[in-house]
């Protein structure tokens, strides 16, 4: 299972050698799934972004929004703090996206228009009885210009204001584990750049963890916990290290 941000690309820039490394994995008959905590984009948009990097991932992308959709019931009203990816997952679950008022659930991910009004609407909905669902806990994600606030930062604000404990959907939590386990089987490798999400995701799946240092985690951050079974500068170097040909 391959993470996207920090493994395949950083922001809008493909990491050199990543597409070729994916092709080498395919030639070695690896069963691949691309699993990301980024909830803002729809699955089709993630597939298109991968295609622009030279990677065909049609039908192989699972997002934290996908996992959050598993926690929504048909007919519910859902206040979304996030992007089109969450809207898509809510609608696929047969629920209705609302922007204010009473709601059955509030789902929080990255929302680049997040402001005090957004926080207030989400807080009031949760205090009014809505379940608080977080797509992920990641406090940041890597871009070409450095780290940017992640969905976990916004979730923390809503949870604090509402004095509520969120139900978590994305890596390393059970909803996304359930989404992907059947695709891989009982053994596998989680490749990612965050020990707190990707490493713990590997633990939850009882898979090996391969840490790449091309995203949030750098060489100066080592050692990390959980300890990875593999550690490499990037995906291309990882494939070299694992001897997959």
Indicate if the alpha-carbon torsion angle 214, 217, 223, 224 is positive or negative: negative
Beta strand 13-14 pairing with 9-10: antiparallel
Q: Which residues contact 91 (CB under 8 A, 6 or more apart)?
A: 97
Please answer whether residues 125 and 106 qualify as being in contact, where contact means their C-beta atoms are separated by less than 8 angstroms: yes
Cis peptide before 226 (omega within 30 of 0): yes
Q: For residue 107, what is the DSSP state?
A: E
Between helix 18-27 and helix 235-242 the angle, nearest 10°, is: 30
Active site residues: 3, 5
- The full length of the chain comes to 245
């Amino acid at each position: 299972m391959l993470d996207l941000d920090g493994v395949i690309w950083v922001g809008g820039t493909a990491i050199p050698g990543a597409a070729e490394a994916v092709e080498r994995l395919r030639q070695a008959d690896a069963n691949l799934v691309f699993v990301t905590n980024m909830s803002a984009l729809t699955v089709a948009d993630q597939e298109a972004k991968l295609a622009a990097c030279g990677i065909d991932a049609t039908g192989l992308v699972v997002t934290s929004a996908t996992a959050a959709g598993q926690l929504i019931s048909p007919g519910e009203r859902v206040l979304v703090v996030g992007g089109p990816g969450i809207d898509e997952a809510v609608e696929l679950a047969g629920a209705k996206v609302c922007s204010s008022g009473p709601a059955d659930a509030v789902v929080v991910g990255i929302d680049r228009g997040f402001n005090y009004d957004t926080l207030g609407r989400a807080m009031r909905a949760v205090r009014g009885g809505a379940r608080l669902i977080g797509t992920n806990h990641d406090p940041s994600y890597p871009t070409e210009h450095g780290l940017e606030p992640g969905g976990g930062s916004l979730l923390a604000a809503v949870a604090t204001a509402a004095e509520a404990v969120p139900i978590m959907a994305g890596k390393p939590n059970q909803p996304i584990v359930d989404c992907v386990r059947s695709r891989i089987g009982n053994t596998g490798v989680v490749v990612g750049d965050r020990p707190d999400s990707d490493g713990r995701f590997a633990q939850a799946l009882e898979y090996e963890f391969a840490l790449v240092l091309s995203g949030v985690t750098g060489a100066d951050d080592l050692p990390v916990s959980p300890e990875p079974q593999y550690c490499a500068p990037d995906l291309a170097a990882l494939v070299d290290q694992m001897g997959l040909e």
